Chains A and B, each alone.
Chain A
Amino acid sequence: MHKGHAERVLRRRRRGWFYLALVGLAVFFLFPLVFMFVASLKPDGQLLSDIGGWRAFLPVGDISFHNYAAVFDRVPVGRFLLNSVIVTVAIVGLGLVVNSTAGFAISRLRWTGRGLVFSVIIATLIVPFETIAVPMVYWVAHLPTLLFQNGRVEYDFGWLDSYQVQIVPFIANGFSIFLFAQYFSTIPASIDEAARIDGAGWFTIYRKIAVPLSGPAFATVAILTFLPAWNQYLWPSMVVQDENLRPVMVGMQYFFQDNTAWGEIMAYTSMITLPVLVVFLAFQRAFVSSVAATGVKG
């Protein structure tokens, strides 16, 4: 009896320390973001004087959305957001189609060169984008492009300053293909055979059987390609000079460089962080399992 009581006390105390550690870590991971959101609501004078104490983390004093309005007055941030949405939706959407069909072809169809193609796709995973960024600027500056001018189709060279230069290079993705191939290979082959006997073509099997059965794979790939597309920075900062085509991250860097009003800067960073945070919190379960899936390949 007595021993059991002591053990319970001990366990409860240990649990207390455990929660204390978790809360401490939560503070460590959250305090910069709380500070950012709070700072975005304050005028610069108060923002700087609040830094010395707890008020830095509390929305108190002269609170308003003035900084947000100022950002919109100063730069076309709505346009930047729209550009990022266009680019992200295009990369994720087209990527789902292109990579899933490739994954299907690799995992379920027999064709000459399949093994070689799959090996090359896996080999591409080792190439970080940073290694090809510089030569790729040279490459896209020389690519042909079609123009529609005066009702005629003409061609010219150079992809710089366009949406396509921000989208097309990132549609195909070796890792997405790998994930789809892995997922499709878990669907029993007998289903294909039955459909073949019923006269279904391969594309029909892909569309009517493989796709509907692979929701989780599509969700995982969508999540894993969404974040890097939304966060693109190095590439658009090199190939997009036109302000009308600029994505939010690059727009923010320009804003940050020629602005010293921290309240406005914090308003900008808060504005582009909040939507992603909301999406993450809404789908956190899917996010977590998607990230876990990246580790499985080991």
Chain B
Amino acid sequence: MRAERRAGWAMAAPAVLLLLAFLIVPVILGFVLSFTNARLISPEPTVFTGLDNFVRAFTADPAFFHSLVNTILFAAVVVPVQAGFGLLLALLVNRKIRGVVAFRVIFFIPVVTSIVVVSILWKFMYQPDGLINSFIDSITFGAWQGTAWLNDPSTALAAIIVLSIWQAVGFHMLIWLAGLQTIPEELYEAARIDGAGTWRQFRDVTWPCLRPTRVFVLITITIAALGLFVQIDVMTQGGPVDSTSTLVYHAVRMGYHQQQIGYGSALSLVFFVLVLIVALVQRVLTRDKD
């Protein structure tokens, strides 16, 4: 018994210590720093400033407000569209028809492409005289030449939404597909005997059986969407006029580029609270239905 206890601790120790040092301590440190004026390099000592950082964010930092709104807007569009599109793709490739596996692989290829590469590539395609506009020009027979997508505050975020879904939807297609394949074929047979058509089969068998998958898909897309950073950093740096700045982007801009670690930590904490709220709401919603 004692040997077992000692072995257990010894084998768990490396991972536990690493998680402690590089996850739990940073979480606590971030919380503490949120209430200080800490800077990365500073001649002045770090002092406790109470709620100053949060007051500043919510009253004196319009860029923060824009970032918060953009982040929520991005998630509000990406979550349903990406989840729905992913499910549609999963239903398409779930058939036992020749060649379907190849299409699964093709739809997944953008997922294994680095998001940095994807952002640069789409920035090129979104150029005023780029591929997207020349395509629009040719399908409308020159009636519309498109626009400078990323330079226009009214289109920049939408343009980023498109490429974000393009890149990530294949991942959720596979998650949905795994869920679909756990549904026993007998349920469909029974539904067909009852005279259910394609739509009724989907509504009465597929959809209810996918509930655990649905929860997982929605929660992972939401958390990823709220953490939007790379596309912004590579493509727009938050511009034009803060129309694409996000919470994480703003936190990195203030905390790292402007070296205001305390303020950046406070903004990260706001992001974390948002994630926790989403996770909690999801939990409550799913528990009620059980």
Q: Does B83 contact A (CB under 8 A)?
A: no
Interface-facing stretch out of A1-9, A62-70, A214-222, A280-288: A280-288
Q: Which residues of A contact B174 (CB under 8 A)?
A: 288, 291-292, 295
Inter-subunit contact A141/B215 (CB<8 Å): no
Q: Does B227 contact A (CB under 8 A)?
A: yes
Q: Does A99 contact B (CB under 8 A)?
A: yes
Q: Which residues of A contact B57 (CB under 8 A)?
A: none
Instruction: Output the residue of B15, B95, B112, B261 with the most chain A CB within 10 A.
Output: B15
Inter-subunit contact A292/B107 (CB<8 Å): no
A281 to B95, CA, bound (A): 21
Q: Does B76 contact A (CB under 8 A)?
A: no
Q: Does B55 contact A (CB under 8 A)?
A: no
Q: Does B159 contact A (CB under 8 A)?
A: no
Interface-facing stretch out of B62-70, B117-125, B146-154, B187-195: B117-125
- Cβ 8 A contact of B265, one of A22, A110, A114, A135: A135
A31 to B95, CA, bound (A): 25
A266 to B123, CA, bound (A): 11
Inter-subunit contact A137/B30 (CB<8 Å): no
A20 shortest CB reach to chain B, Å: 11
A109 to B65, CA, bound (A): 50
Q: How large is the interface on B (under 10, 10 to 19, 20 to 34, 35 or more residues)?
A: 35 or more
Please classify the interface of chain B as helix (H, G, I), strand (E, B), loop, or mixed, using the class held by over half of its residues: helix
Inter-subunit contact A295/B179 (CB<8 Å): yes
Q: Does A186 contact B (CB under 8 A)?
A: no
Number of A interface residues, CB 8 Å? 93
Query: Known interface pairs A101-B14, A126-B276, A269-B120. Does A295 touch B5 (Cβ–Cβ under 8 Å)?
Result: no
Q: Does A136 contact B (CB under 8 A)?
A: yes
Query: Known interface pairs A15-B97, A134-B261. Does A230 touch B107 (Cβ–Cβ under 8 Å)?
Result: no
Beta-carbon nearest neighbor of A265 in chain B = B120
Q: Which residues of B contact A168 (CB under 8 A)?
A: 18, 22
Beta-carbon nearest neighbor of B234 in chain A = A253
A2 shortest CB reach to chain B, Å: 24
Inter-subunit contact B261/A32 (CB<8 Å): no
- Cβ 8 A contact of A135, one of B15, B29, B213: B29
Q: Does A52 contact B (CB under 8 A)?
A: yes
Inter-subunit contact A172/B216 (CB<8 Å): no
Q: Does A132 contact B (CB under 8 A)?
A: yes
Inter-subunit contact A101/B11 (CB<8 Å): yes
Instruction: Output the residue of A98, A130, A132 with the most chain B CB within 10 A.
Output: A130
A36 to B279, CA, bound (A): 38
B172 shortest CB reach to chain A, Å: 9
Q: Which residues of B contact A230 (CB under 8 A)?
A: 114
Q: Does A163 contact B (CB under 8 A)?
A: no
Query: Known interface pairs A32-B122, A102-B12, A262-B124. Does A134 touch B264 (Cβ–Cβ under 8 Å)?
Result: yes
A-B contact pairs, 27 of them (CB 8 A): A29-B107, A32-B110, A36-B121, A111-B5, A124-B19, A124-B24, A128-B275, A130-B248, A132-B26, A134-B255, A138-B40, A139-B26, A172-B18, A201-B7, A202-B8, A203-B11, A230-B114, A234-B229, A253-B233, A266-B124, A276-B112, A276-B113, A276-B114, A288-B105, A288-B108, A291-B171, A298-B215
A101-B15, A112-B5, A137-B255 provided; 15 other pairs, C-beta below 8 A? Answer: A18-B92, A52-B137, A98-B15, A99-B15, A109-B4, A111-B4, A111-B12, A137-B40, A170-B22, A172-B15, A231-B115, A256-B120, A273-B117, A292-B178, A298-B215
Q: Which A residues have a C-beta under 8 Å from some C-beta of B?
A: 15, 18-19, 21-22, 25-26, 28-30, 32-33, 35-36, 39, 48, 51-53, 56, 98-99, 101-102, 104-106, 109-112, 114, 117, 120-121, 124, 126-128, 130-139, 141, 168-172, 174, 177, 201-203, 206, 227, 230-231, 233-234, 237-238, 249, 252-253, 256, 262, 265-266, 269, 272-273, 276-277, 280-281, 284, 287-288, 291-298
